[in-house]
Structure 1
Amino acid sequence: MPGILIHLSAPLQSFGEHSAFTERDTHPRPTRSALIGLIAAALGRSREADLFDLRSLRFTIRTDRPGVRLVDFHTVGGGLPRERTVPSANGDRKKEETATVVTKRHYLSDAAFTVAVDGDTATIAMVTDALRAPQWPLYLGRRACPPAGPLLVAAGLDDAGAALAAFPLHRSRPYGATTVVVDVAHDQPPTDGHLARHRLVDDPVSFDAYQRAWQARTEYVTTLTLPAELCAGLGTSWIEALTTARGRETAA
């Protein structure tokens, strides 16, 4: 099945899976909702647009760096006149002196993921073109989290999932190590590997602001042992490795 590789790295990323009210969580890796939403934004689609073709895509996520969990707090509704404060449960507005609401926002700091995207030829070609020239600004879960580098890192692949075993890792090489172990998450049952299953409600049916809906699905997580030589480092070392990898793709 044809596919591409996209790379997600940034100072902050956040992929809510069961966020509610004042507690905004993040999953340890990108959710299907976040990835489909990112592609829909690249295509310039409205929130009301049909997601049928994008929901057919399959994602395999390699965790290059898991990052560090960070919790921040935000305030909402403070300093406003009564008619503009946060609504209360009885349908009224909160009083000015009690209107401020504190929310906790969870982030992944300094994380990096390489994602294989597989689908039918026409859909993959459409997605590839969109990621090369996005219609709207792209972000990693929240608008405050823009990507730190190029998203599309390999295209025209016959098997994007298999390519994850050879594509450079965006991490430093552990001292003295000959191999490294990384987590790989699948949205289809893998054929081998030590398997962990997680039930997530992150498969988007609609992004409509008034009719948002998701379906439950199973996330399958395995581990992959890779040569330590694949660790390309950070900063300019990573950019050089990425340039070399993309050069091989162009030559092919």
Structure 2
Amino acid sequence: MSVLLLRLAGPLQSWGATSRFTQRHTEMAPTKSGVIGLLAAAQGLRRTDPLTELLGLEFGVRIDQPGQLLRDFQVARTLDGSASMPLTNRYYLSDAVFLAAIGGDRELLVGLHEAVRRPKFPLYLGRRSCPPVAPVTLGVQPGTVTDVLGDWPWQAAKHLCKRAELTVPLEILSDAPPGAEVSETLPDQPISFDPAHRQYGWRAVVRTRVVVPNPDGRAPVAATSPGGVPPADHDPMSVL
């Protein structure tokens, strides 16, 4: 198996899986349907086109920089000002960075890599108001989704890397293989993006944690006494 790696970073991201009507929530990590939609846009597929090539791809995402949850309260009126539109709450992830991995046939993934480099339609991170920053694709790598996500360097911002320790624990959310213990299920398996009949199936997700090196980090500082000497063991009960 080969894996296409995508670095998903931007001022705002929003990855809805269960949002409806006036409450537009976001998951705390990119959804499979959202990333498949990004790849379909890069290929130039329209919403009514079949997703035949993309439906069998394996998906996983690593949370490198979780960002902050942001709520946008929106008020709108009709163009002539005669009526008010429904009040909505839209949620976003601010200043987040994710590493997404798509597993499948190498020839298909190489084509997707080239499409992301030169997309037919604009790419966005869940919503049209959320463009990505920097190159999105990191290329096609050999291996499985979980192996590549566990080995790839940490993608957080440099100022965070310098404040962290020499190793950092990161969470991975990936498609659950057969027989695995499922952490959660999401209505996130895309079937059709046709606006007249959107379809999503349930996707089983497994959560794991990996520890990756941080070459820009700092070593843990040992506690010392005012004189710079490590403190001796202290037993407060010794006086008794």
TM-score greater than 0.5 by the shorter chain: yes
Q: Is the 8 A contact 2:70 2:92 kept in 1?
A: yes
The corresponding residue for 2:95 is 110
The aligned counterpart of 1:74 is 74
Does residue 1:169 correspond to 2:163, yes or no?
no
The alignment partner of 1:163 has SS state of helix
State whether residues 61 and 174 of structure 2, in contact with CA within 8 Å, keep that contact through their aligned partners in structure 1: yes
Structure 1 residues 156, 163: closer, same or farther in 2, change over 3 A? closer
Secondary structure, aligned partner of 1:45: coil
Corresponding residue for residue 194 of structure 2: 208
Q: 1: CA distance between counterparts of 2:216 and 2:58?
A: 24
Match of 1:248 in 2: none
* Separation of aligned partners in 2, 1:44 and 1:122: 18
Shift of 1:60: 1.4
Instruction: Answer yes or no: is 1:224 the counterpart of 2:210.
Output: yes
Q: Are residues 1:184 and 2:166 paired?
A: no
Q: 1:150 to 1:191 in 2, by over 3 A?
A: farther
**Does 1:122 pair with 2:110?**
no
What is the distance in 2 between the residues matched to 1:122 and 1:176? 38
Pair 1:20-2:20 in alignment: yes
Instruction: Give the structure with higher Rg (CA).
Output: 2
Structure with the higher helix share, 1 or 2: 1
Query: What SS class does the counterpart of residue 54 from structure 2 fall into?
Result: helix
| Whole-angstrom distance in 2 between the partners of 1:60 and 1:30 | 9
Seen in structure 2, the aligned counterparts of structure 1 residues 190 and 62 have a Cα distance that, compared at 3 Å, is: farther
Percent identity for Structure 1 against Structure 2: 36
In the alignment, what sits opposite 2:6? 6
- Give unmatched runs, 5+ long, in structure 2: 218-240
Question: Partners in 2 of 1:126 and 1:143 — Cα distance?
Answer: 24
Q: How large is the RMSD of aligned CA atoms in angstroms?
A: 2.2
5+ residue gaps, structure 1: 82-95, 232-252
Deviations 1:170-203 (A, max 9, x none): 22236462321111010133999xx761210011
Structure 2 equivalent of residue 54 of structure 1: 54
**1:21 to 1:183, Cα distance in 2 relative to 1, 3 A:** same
* 1:50, distance to aligned residue in structure 2 (A): 0.9
